[in-house]
């Protein structure tokens, strides 16, 4: 199964519904990703507005 990215929160997902925001609008056109392990202590998570650990795309079209 191809990984897709949620257009709303940029979470990389494999299912039909995003586990973070519960949306179902996905994109196949994305570039780069970052793994957030501890969003509370991460400046990158703060910049990306990420509150839940996981893999997130850096650029989504």
Whether 37 and 8 have beta carbons less than 8 Å apart is answered as: no
User: Would you state the structure tokens that stand for residue 9, as one six-digit string?
Assistant: 């929160």
The answer to whether the annotation marks 60 as part of a ligand binding site is no
The answer to whether the annotation marks 33 as part of a ligand binding site is no
Who's near 17: CB < 8 A, 6+ residues apart? 23, 24
The answer to whether the annotation marks 9 as part of a ligand binding site is yes
The answer to whether the annotation marks 29 as part of a ligand binding site is no
* Known binding-site positions for Zn(2+): 6, 9, 18, 21
* Known binding-site positions: 6, 9, 18, 21
């Amino acid at each position: 199964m191809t990984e897709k990215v949620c257009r709303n929160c940029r979470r990389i997902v494999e299912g039909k519904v995003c586990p973070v925001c519960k949306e179902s609008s996905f994109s196949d056109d994305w570039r780069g990703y970052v793994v957030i392990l501890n969003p509370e202590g991460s400046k990158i998570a703060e910049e990306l507005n990420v509150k839940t650990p996981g893999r997130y795309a850096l650029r989504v079209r």
